[in-house]
Structure 1
Amino acid sequence: MGEFVLKMPDVGEGVAEAELVEWHVKPGDPVREDMVLAAVMTDKATVEIPSPVSGKVLWLGAEVGDTVAVKAPLVRIETAGDGGEPLPDSVPEALAEAVLEEPVAATPAPAKVTSPPKPQSPAPKPALAPRQMPDVSAKPLASPAVRLRAKESGIDLRQVIGRGPAGRITHDDLDLVISRGGEPLPPQTGLMRKTAVEEIKVTGLRRRIAEKMSLSTSRIPHITYVEEVDMTALEDLRATMNRDRKGEQPKLTILPFLMRALVKAVAELSGVNAIFDDHAGIIHRHAAVHIGIATQTPAGLTVPVVRHAEARSIWDCAGELNRLAEAARTGTATRDELTGSTITISSLGALGGIVSTPVINHPEVAIVGVNKLAVRPVWDGTQFVPRKIMNLSSSFDHRVIDGWDAATFVQRLKTLLETPALIFVEG
């Protein structure tokens, strides 16, 4: 019998380490050649690592969530022959074909496999345990004083529900029974105290999201501006355009209209369509409008990017938005489709609430949050009339965007959305 040591391969493009996001095997498992052993995530892709030999897993060199350096021992495999050499430092063809563009919806992480789990300290017991039916076949737990008092009172302790530690019967429990004339308390069913604690390690895409949000909130002083927008006219126009759409034209939601309104607004206030390199102290104002659309996926939040929205019609915006959202949800979006935005839209649709405080997608300087659309009574000067109202909650980097400019930008969006014909006016 031999032993084969599989080292962490070089996944290319100067990557020196990768995060282990999934094990497909555990010690003792049989493996065959080309069987996927693990998945690792770099900043650019998720890579599946296959086995170059057949045999049995003896040892795993990392746990899910660990960062593994290139060339570090990853797996030891017992082989039928004399073993073999580790994989070369470059990525083999089989591994290169396993590179998947991020994001990939990782399956739940398996338990730690490199060492026995550490025993957990027992959770502190509540002062009053849940009320349960007493076990009449077991000797009840009680102190000698409680037993004597129960005997003198003619109470069978086997019929008393103990609420002390480990179900111990206390004087308080006896007092409750005595107050009922010696009748045992009825059991409480359905409502039970729960003490379980589930530990979930933050790995993969969820870790990337946590790091991104921490970076944004720690380095960007946010200012959030909320404005109410009357969407009645736009909703009427949207309904008409959807009714009259032709051929392969996609169904329009509010977002394509907002995207086109953004294009017109940033043409007048270019400071919000920018990237702030705070290390170099340089603001990069972009002529191109690359709009990131915050999208919830099974793996977590991703931000696919509709590039050059300034050159797209409203139908083109809708079609590209649909394509990117589907790619993000299925984990097939490429790195280019998930990077390079200059301004972001965040929308929770029907769950949008009244107000939100969206976090800026670093290193951008602005994000527009879409809240829930609802019919509300609005005073028109003589009476209340029903109008379709939606709030915009927008955050700005207060280091480079003053409050006045933030308000001016949102008010311009409000004007465009409330008078949607302006969205289609050229020039």
Structure 2
Amino acid sequence: MTDFVLTMPDVGEGVAEAEVVEWHVKPGDPVREDMVLAAVMTDKATIEIPSPVAGVVTWVAADVGETVAVKAPLVRIAREGSEIAAPADADTVETPQPKPDQPASPTAPSLPTKDVPGLKSQKPVAAPAVRRRAIEAGIDLRQIEGTGPAGRITHEDLDSFTAPGKTLAETSGLVKRTTVEEVKITGLRRKIAEKMSLSVSRIPHITYIEEVDVTDLEELRAKMNEGRRDDQPKLTVLPFMMRALAKTIVEQPGMNATFDDAAGIVSRYGAVHIGIATQTPAGLVVPVVRHVEARSIWDSAKELARVADAARDGSAQREELSGSTITISSLGALGGIASTPVINHPEVAIIGVNKIVTRPVWDGNQFIPRKMMNLSSSFDHRIVDGWDAARFIQRIKALIETPALIFIES
């Protein structure tokens, strides 16, 4: 009986290869049918690869961060009842062998050693302060022979190991850190880096920052949240901003657009598909709320919550993470006073929402407390002139400062 070779699945949409972002198995591991073997990424969609058979993994094609072509061998499994090294025949895929200097599967990085032939198998005995110093210095205590009672490792042993005749630091806990951690950029983080580099290198950004009084909006939002039904989500500022964007785009459709600079074509969209830059455990993604022009405040809030939750828990589909025509970037309470958001290529505009703070505002007679928020927005200066960018933000400001206008149908 031959080994079973699982190939990289064809995920469609013209994808020719996928990046391995996580392995759940390594050679020698037993696997069950339908057990997840690996996770691979194409664009911003992560796909889990299950095992079609039960057996033992004998080979994997790539390390985390490497790409594998569609339909190329990905994992080799010796099926239950078969020999681990089955003879090749017509139904067997020849398995590439790993390079001599390259492990067959990802392994955990080893801690630094210092001319030590091997590590002690037993747990080293050391005081908490000594363990803390070793961790901060990147030293595995199994490399050190303790001179204290019962082989206990002392501060002096640690000093001798790191620099004979010199102390690493005083025993107060303040120690020098000399470790360097190298982190390979893979998966979503690599996609983010590529997208940001593409956007900044190809789009000349112009950033426009304006202060907006959101006192009335916050009062309205609080009243609407108090009266909401159980099936309605809690309103944040973002659904109001989304509706204000949709109304303003009717007057300036050139902002709801993408620019194909290679073809020299600007595509202006009637549909308002708003991307919401969202932080997830894996990194920044942009789930999309489609057809905001046809959604109410409550419907916009509900759909926003749905796609944002899907992005955070990794269940978002490819179509929920692509196709935006304009993007909103918001860091909530961490939004700062101002920012310089990077345009979501190939769009031509991004609206940055900063945090709300109470500031004294002069009303002509006295200073009064008002809730203020800055909008920091960037535009593709090849397509959008500064005057048009300012006019766009000023119109949004007018709607936000008089929120009843958001609900008036044109």
Same fold, TM exceeding 0.5?
yes
SS at match of 1:416: helix
User: One-letter code of the match for 2:198?
Assistant: L
Q: Distance in 2 between matches of 1:53 and 1:344?
A: 44
Tell me the TM-score normalized by structure 1. Answer: 0.75
Q: Is the contact made by 2:44 and 2:191 (CA closer than 8 Å) also made in structure 1?
A: no
Q: Distance in 2 between matches of 1:50 and 1:164?
A: 47
TM-aligned CA deviation for residue 200 of structure 1: 2.4
Q: Distance in 1 between matches of 2:22 and 2:107?
A: 18
TM-aligned CA deviation for residue 323 of structure 1: 1.7
Tell me which residue corresponds to 2:253: 270
Q: Is the contact made by 1:17 and 1:69 (CA closer than 8 Å) also made in structure 2?
A: yes
Question: Kindly tell me: are residues 399 and 196 of structure 1, through their superposed partners in 2, closer, same or farther at Cα, counting changes over 3 Å?
Answer: same
Question: Kindly tell me: are residues 60 and 232 of structure 1, through their superposed partners in 2, closer, same or farther at Cα, counting changes over 3 Å?
Answer: same
Give yes or no for the alignment of 1:330 onto 2:317. Answer: no
Tell me which residue corresponds to 2:59: 59
Structure 2, gaps ≥5 residues long: 94-101, 115-136, 138-144, 149-154
Question: Kindly tell me: are residues 408 and 122 of structure 1, through their superposed partners in 2, closer, same or farther at Cα, counting changes over 3 Å?
Answer: farther
274, 282, 288: which one aligns with 1:299: 282
Tell me which residue corresponds to 2:204: 221
- After TM superposition, the structure 1 = structure 2 runs for residues 362-401 of structure 1, keeping only pairs within 5 Å, are 362-401=345-384
User: One-letter code of the match for 1:307?
Assistant: R
- After TM superposition, the structure 1 = structure 2 runs for residues 26-425 of structure 1, keeping only pairs within 5 Å, are 26-43=26-43, 45-79=45-79, 80-81=81-82, 83=86, 85=91, 113-114=104-105, 166-169=163-166, 187-425=170-408
Q: Is the contact made by 2:2 and 2:92 (CA closer than 8 Å) also made in structure 1?
A: no
Q: Is the contact made by 1:354 and 1:371 (CA closer than 8 Å) also made in structure 2?
A: yes
TM-aligned CA deviation for residue 337 of structure 1: 1.7
SS at match of 1:413: helix
Q: Distance in 2 between matches of 1:5 and 1:257?
A: 52
Task: Report Cα offsets for 1:51-90 as digits up to 9, x if no partner.
Answer: 3444333322211111111343333334543648358xxx
Q: Is the contact made by 2:22 and 2:40 (CA closer than 8 Å) also made in structure 1?
A: yes
Question: Kindly tell me: are residues 76 and 345 of structure 1, through their superposed partners in 2, closer, same or farther at Cα, counting changes over 3 Å?
Answer: same
SS at match of 2:231: coil
Tell me the TM-score normalized by structure 2. Answer: 0.78
Question: Kindly tell me: are residues 236 and 68 of structure 1, through their superposed partners in 2, closer, same or farther at Cα, counting changes over 3 Å?
Answer: same
Question: Kindly tell me: are residues 385 and 117 of structure 1, through their superposed partners in 2, closer, same or farther at Cα, counting changes over 3 Å?
Answer: closer
TM-aligned CA deviation for residue 203 of structure 1: 1.8
Q: Distance in 1 between matches of 2:288 and 2:106?
A: 42
Matched residues, number: 360
SS at match of 2:179: coil
Q: Is the contact made by 1:292 and 1:304 (CA closer than 8 Å) also made in structure 2?
A: yes
TM-aligned CA deviation for residue 44 of structure 1: 6.9
Question: Kindly tell me: are residues 300 and 382 of structure 1, through their superposed partners in 2, closer, same or farther at Cα, counting changes over 3 Å?
Answer: same
User: One-letter code of the match for 2:240?
Assistant: F
Tell me which residue corresponds to 1:178: none
Q: Is the contact made by 2:273 and 2:289 (CA closer than 8 Å) also made in structure 1?
A: yes
Question: Kindly tell me: are residues 112 and 48 of structure 1, through their superposed partners in 2, closer, same or farther at Cα, counting changes over 3 Å?
Answer: farther
Question: Kindly tell me: are residues 259 and 52 of structure 1, through their superposed partners in 2, closer, same or farther at Cα, counting changes over 3 Å?
Answer: closer
Tell me which residue corresponds to 1:10: 10
TM-aligned CA deviation for residue 3 of structure 1: 4.2
Question: Kindly tell me: are residues 119 and 316 of structure 1, through their superposed partners in 2, closer, same or farther at Cα, counting changes over 3 Å?
Answer: closer
Tell me which residue corresponds to 1:141: none
Question: Kindly tell me: are residues 266 and 187 of structure 1, through their superposed partners in 2, closer, same or farther at Cα, counting changes over 3 Å?
Answer: same
Tell me which residue corresponds to 1:102: none
TM-aligned CA deviation for residue 137 of structure 1: 7.0
User: One-letter code of the match for 1:325?
Assistant: A
Q: Is the contact made by 2:61 and 2:104 (CA closer than 8 Å) also made in structure 1?
A: no
Q: Distance in 2 between matches of 1:207 and 1:217?
A: 15
Task: Give the structure with higher Rg (CA).
Answer: 1
SS at match of 2:163: helix
SS at match of 1:226: strand
TM-aligned CA deviation for residue 30 of structure 1: 2.4
User: One-letter code of the match for 2:179?
Assistant: A
Tell me which residue corresponds to 2:132: none
Task: Report Cα offsets for 1:121-177 as digits up to 9, x if no partner.
Answer: 999xxxxxx9xxxx9979xxxxxxxxxxxxxxxxxxx99x989981435xxx9xxxx
User: One-letter code of the match for 1:81?
Assistant: S
Q: Is the contact made by 1:6 and 1:86 (CA closer than 8 Å) also made in structure 2?
A: no
User: One-letter code of the match for 2:15?
Assistant: V
Task: Report Cα offsets for 1:313-369 as digits up to 9, x if no partner.
Answer: 112211211222222222222222221111111111101000111111111100000
Q: Distance in 1 between matches of 2:103 and 2:283?
A: 23
Q: Is the contact made by 1:64 and 1:112 (CA closer than 8 Å) also made in structure 2?
A: no
Q: Distance in 2 between matches of 1:65 and 1:136?
A: 40
Q: Distance in 2 between matches of 1:319 and 1:15?
A: 32
